Chain A
Amino acid sequence: MKELSRVLHIDLTRRSFHVEDRPDLFENYIGGVGAAINLLLEECPKNANPLGPENPIVFAVGPLTGVFPLASKTVAMFKSPLTGNLGESHAGGRSAIAIRMAGYGAIVIKGSSETPIYLAVHDGKVYFRDASGIWGMRSSYTVGRIIRELEPGAGFRTIMRIGRAGEKLVSYACVITETYRHFGRLGLGAVFGSKKLKAIVISGRCSIKIPDSKAYKEVYDKIFNSAVKLPIMKKYHDLGTAYNVTPLNELKALPSLNLKQASLKESVNISGEMLAENYLGRRVACVHCPVACIHLASLREPYEREPYFYKTTMVSYDYEPLYALGSMLGVTDTKGWLKLMDEVEVQGLDAISVGVVLAWATEAYEKGLITDKETMNIRLKWGDYNTYIEAIRKIVAQPNEFYTSLARGVEYAASRYGGLDFALSFGGNEMPGYHTGLATYVTYLTGSRHSHLDSAGYSLDEKNVKAGMRQTPDEIAEALFKEEVWRQVLSSLVVCFFARGIYTPSTVIESLKTAGFDLGFKLTEENLNKVGIEILKKKYLFKVREGFNYKSLRIPKRILEISTPLGMLDEMEIREAVNIFFKFLT
């Protein structure tokens, strides 16, 4: 048995490691995001270069990981090369279980290596393995394949790796784990790349002692049974998150063609139904989750010069990439979308960011802000997935200043070439796929990582649409603040947000008590929310320290020009809600 409070520190410069016992982090801040923000504040010096050796990478899991179902996310924290501020990203796969089963609650990686390396963590030891032979490899898939053969622990391990995008420091490169899950958004892949860190393998299978065996089985069964019966879980098992394409399109909330419109006639071709009926080849689950929301499409393509010879590629699909690489770019040819998605995986890019970047570039090209000279004769055109594939390769290779700018995100590219009014980023992070109303945009602006998942404004908008009501800015700010606070608790437990209906405050308290996890405070809903607020304040502290000022947040004009299901948006109303939100934090 190994305690959750063990923090593994790895120094890439000195090629050394040690374990530090930090019960304070977990007793006071639960784990996950709560433990990670404390470690980030401790380890990341003020004004650190996000791509310098001083930027730490923090991973953290929680007290329910390996004990109860659905607590299977790993929280990563770092300073983001995309926003120059708080970097936070969550991923599932086998990552969280492997970290906990290897006997750690958190991992901190600092320094940088002179030559490419990958890390292998087995049986309490860290091995610094040479990765020169796999650096620069064309496909991220191959990297996974090679490391699978080289390392022990099949079935008990995670393999986190970067593609070329991370090596080439694209600001929104992701880290891929178990081939189809990602530490996406905000550029963790580039931070790996800057450290010459190609991959991390972690394996283990320790025990976790529980005080009362009978109570453990009872509470486990309760959570397990609600997970297999909950309607939202069935939805995500059947169609996956791709389910959302059809309802959002019908609602006219599906950002399309760089949000020149909010629905797309042909979006049925990239819908969950179309993909499941014609392409779904396999479902996969994160470890310790019965849902299996990960959907893999089977793409069968003939070889041009050889009759009756085919290659079959498995491509993962989810709502956000269907929006960003589909409706946003007008790519509604199903096979074309799958090919485009596959290229994004091969390179190891964040699908949302690269889609939004390309959507801006296409409109800028239409408007003549950029020409064939900048694009190197790549003629960007809505729906032309082959051209987009070529453009993606150039964003990674960065053969000229224009593509280097695209590799730094839409905010940077538009401030360099013009077109900020239709550059869809918030707090420097490219926009997620919901044009649902006021609340969603307040989430993008106020959320600590500028992600739709921070406080799920889109969900609040959808509820308001159904109820036929429009909430005031202060009602929205209050509801979103409350939601983001509770989500700090969930992501400190590293519970998947899909399971938030199961992990209600009473279930959280019951499961923590059953796990025998001693917190430094009395387990009540009120106290959990207090910890949530404290975590959120610490994140905000980091953000302000690194130069964040909510008063200077940019609102792209484009979002004000297209009606949402709740009507046209008003900039004053958005700003008002943002101001109220941040008053709660200070």
Chain B
Amino acid sequence: MSYRLAVIDVERCVGCELCMFACSRRFGEGGLAKSAIAVRSIGGVEKGFTVIVCRACSDPPCAKVCIVNALMVRKGGGVVLNPHKCIGCGRCIDACPVKAVFWNSEINKPNICVHCGYCAKYCPHEVLKLEKVV
């Protein structure tokens, strides 16, 4: 069984960014350096927010442009990063059409969503959900 992270109702998003903090906290650290999810306003908070997450593509464009095969297609969609192979070229950032590849400038490698759903547990407003992939 595979899962993917889904944005089920973006209109409920209040921009608290708790999901972003949860994502970095998975690694036992504070801050936002390792977050693979982002929330930003759509031209001012009055207009609401957009939540940017990996869509778990079945044929991921990010993997296709990785010249060192550091991004392997994941069962259920999306990719898994092998950081030891990654050379930090950043091509994956440009390839992602929803801009869901984030960059950790402290280690110069991408932050890739693993669809674990940890962030969804901390969304108090039912914006995020971990869904089964059928």
Contacts and interface: CB of A to CB of B under 8 A. Distances in A.
A69 B44 contact: no
B7 interface: no
The 4 residue pairs across chains A and B that have the minimum distance between CB atoms: A213-B28, A155-B40, A208-B30, A207-B33
Interface in B24-43: 24-25, 27-35, 38-41, 43
B97 interface: no
Instruction: Tell me what chain B mostly uses at the interface: helix, strand, loop, or mixed.
Output: loop
Nearest to B43: A148
A288 B43 contact: no
B34 A292 contact: no
Interface of B: 14-18, 21, 24-25, 27-35, 38-41, 43-46, 48, 105-106, 122, 124-125
20 contacts: A1-B31, A69-B18, A145-B43, A178-B45, A179-B45, A205-B33, A207-B24, A207-B30, A207-B32, A208-B29, A208-B31, A209-B29, A209-B30, A210-B28, A213-B27, A282-B48, A284-B45, A287-B15, A288-B16, A290-B124
Interface range on chain A: under 10, 10 to 19, 20 to 34, or 35 or more? Answer: 35 or more
A228 interface: yes
A180 B45 CA distance: 9
Contacts of A123: 105
A215 to B, nearest CB: 9
Interface stretch (A216-224, A263-271, A495-503): A216-224
Given A179-B44, A205-B33, A224-B122, A292 B16 contact: yes
A86 interface: no
A314 B46 contact: yes
A67 interface: yes
Interface string A230-268: 000000000000000000000000000000000000000
A66 B31 contact: yes
Contacts of B18: 69, 224, 288, 290
Given A66-B30, A207-B34, A217 B124 contact: no
Contact of B44 (A144, A207, A214): A144
Contacts of A213: 27-29
Contacts of A285: 14-16
B35 A289 contact: no
Given A123-B105, A178-B45, 5 more contacts: A179-B44, A206-B32, A216-B28, A288-B21, A296-B46
A154 interface: yes
Contact of A210 (B17, B29, B40, B45): B29
B29 A207 contact: yes
A206 B39 contact: no
A205 B31 contact: yes
B46 A210 contact: no
Interface in A28-77: 66-67, 69
A97 B48 CA distance: 19
A227 B27 CA distance: 23
Contacts of B31: 1, 66-67, 100-101, 205-208
A69 B105 CA distance: 24
Of the listed residues A101, A178, A205, the one surrounded by the most CB atoms of chain B closer than 10 A to its CB is A205
Nearest to B125: A292
A380 B31 CA distance: 51
Contacts of A289: 16
Given A282-B48, A284-B14, A205 B41 contact: no
Interface in A179-233: 179-180, 205-210, 212-214, 216-217, 220, 224, 228
